[in-house]
């Protein structure tokens, strides 16, 4: 077979490990593999190159994606996707493996509807794909966030400050929830908890009066302006308060062993499915077992927050 592999949307540490696994698994079947550069944009433009085993040497531990990634909103138009289908035909590519988040999955679903054989692999730091317990990149981003929060805790404690730390996750609470639990944050604010500003301010004032040296507030992005919130906390609670937006450092870095392992498993599994003629699906892990769902089910399934973690917080915060 001739298999194409593409990374699209936001990059995530571990994407390279997934590319490597796809290439090596496909070669082990005797397939030819083609790297498609710069996401769906590169596909439309025909940026396609055959990959050998050597092309994916020394990338297992590298962050980012050697294929590059890009955003092409116009991919929502059928005429633009037609150009992609033409490029696949021109290069005789039989099947396409797409590594990315839910936008990438939607693009792959639309291509599947046009007859392209697609298998998707979850690559995003946000952990917002419901069809898998963990996405490639989440573990590394969590490690990065935890390291930063630990450092901010040291200085907050020395200066008796409150620190607000905004982490990524788009609309998914996981990065804030997990990093907040791992770093003993006093408050965790996510799309799931919502922001009860009055309560937060009153609690922080109470903490301050009780003589607690610092307070750590971990908050998901897209909730509020953390710099304004820091000012309000400072005015009301008696704590000096600093806001830090961790931003894009969460997207880079050497992938953790968990991400390399997950990416290696999912990359090989995606190629196995193609050889079983199973297409139009997204792969993932559920309760440590590999599984696949149709792309439409993978996109439709709600990303239910883990309620046991909320319950855990009430006991340890």
Binding-site ranges for ligand ADP (CB under 6 A): 8-10, 40, 71-73, 75-76, 100-104, 106-107, 110, 124
Backbone angles phi, psi at 227, to 5 degrees: -70, -40
Q: Which of 248, 185, 203 is nearest to 221 (CA)?
A: 248
Quote the CA–CA distance of 149 and 176 in Å, as a whole number: 11
Q: State the residue for tokens 């996401």.
A: 39
CB of 75 to ligand ADP, least distance (A): 3
Instruction: Tell me the C-alpha distance between 226 and 206, whole Å.
Output: 21
CB nearer to ligand ADP: pick between 35 and 123: 123
User: Which of 11, 102, 126, 133 is the catalytic position?
Assistant: 126
DSSP 272: H
Output 125 or 189, the one with its CB closest to ligand ADP. Answer: 125
State the chain's maximal CA–CA distance in angstroms: 71
Q: Shortest distance, CB of residue 20 to ligand ADP, whole angstroms? A: 20
Task: Pick the closer one to ligand ADP by CB: 138 or 239.
Answer: 138
Q: At what angle do helices 257-275 and 15-28 cross, to 10 degrees?
A: 40
Least distance to ligand ADP, CB of residue 201, Å = 35
The token pair at 17 is: 């490990």
Q: By three-state DSSP, how is residue 33 classified?
A: strand
- Which one, 138 or 187, has the nearer CB to ligand ADP? 138
Say whether 11 is catalytic: no
Residue with smaller CB distance to ligand ADP, 187 or 292 = 292
**Smallest gap from residue 170 Cβ to ligand ADP (A):** 8
Q: Could you give the C-alpha distances from 266 to 46, 63, 86, 282, 291, in angstroms and in order?
A: 26, 17, 28, 10, 9
Half-sphere exposure of residue 217: CA atoms within 13 angstroms, side-chain side? 30
Smallest distance from the beta carbon of 38 to ligand ADP, in angstroms?
11
Distance between CA atoms of residues 86 and 89, nearest Å: 5
Active-site amino acid positions? 126
């Amino acid at each position: 077979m001739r298999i194409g592999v593409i990374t699209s949307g936001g990059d995530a540490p571990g994407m390279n490990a997934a590319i490597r696994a796809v290439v090596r698994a496909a070669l082990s079947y005797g397939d030819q593999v083609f790297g498609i550069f710069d996401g769906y944009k590169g596909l439309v433009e025909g940026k396609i190159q055959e990959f050998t085993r050597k092309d994916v040497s020394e990338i297992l531990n590298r962050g980012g994606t050697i294929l590059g990634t890009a955003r092409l909103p116009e991919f929502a138009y059928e005429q633009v996707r037609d150009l992609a289908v033409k490029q696949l035909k021109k290069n005789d590519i039989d099947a396409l493996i797409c590594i990315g988040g839910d936008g990438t999955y939607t693009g792959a679903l639309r291509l599947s509807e046009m007859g392209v054989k697609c298998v998707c692999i979850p690559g995003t730091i946000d952990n917002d794909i419901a069809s898998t317990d963990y996405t490639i990149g989440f573990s590394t981003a969590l490690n990065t966030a935890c390291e930063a929060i630990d450092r901010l805790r040291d200085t907050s404690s020395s200066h008796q400050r409150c620190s607000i730390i905004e982490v990524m996750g788009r609309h998914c609470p996981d990065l804030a929830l997990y990093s907040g639990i791992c770093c003993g944050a006093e408050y965790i604010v996510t799309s799931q908890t919502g922001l009860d500003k009055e309560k937060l301010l009153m609690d922080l004032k109470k903490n301050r009066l009780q003589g607690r040296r610092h307070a750590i507030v971990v908050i998901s992005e897209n909730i509020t302006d953390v710099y304004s919130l820091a000012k309000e906390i400072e005015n009301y609670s008696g704590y000096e308060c600093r806001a830090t937006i961790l931003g894009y450092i969460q997207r880079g870095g050497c992938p953790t062993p968990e991400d390399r392992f997950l990416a290696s498993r999912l990359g090989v599994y995606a190629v196995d499915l193609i050889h079983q003629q199973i297409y139009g699906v997204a792969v993932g892990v559920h309760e440590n077992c590999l599984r696949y769902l149709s792309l439409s089910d993978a996109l439709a399934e709600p990303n239910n927050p883990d309620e046991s973690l909320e319950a855990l917080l009430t006991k340890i915060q």
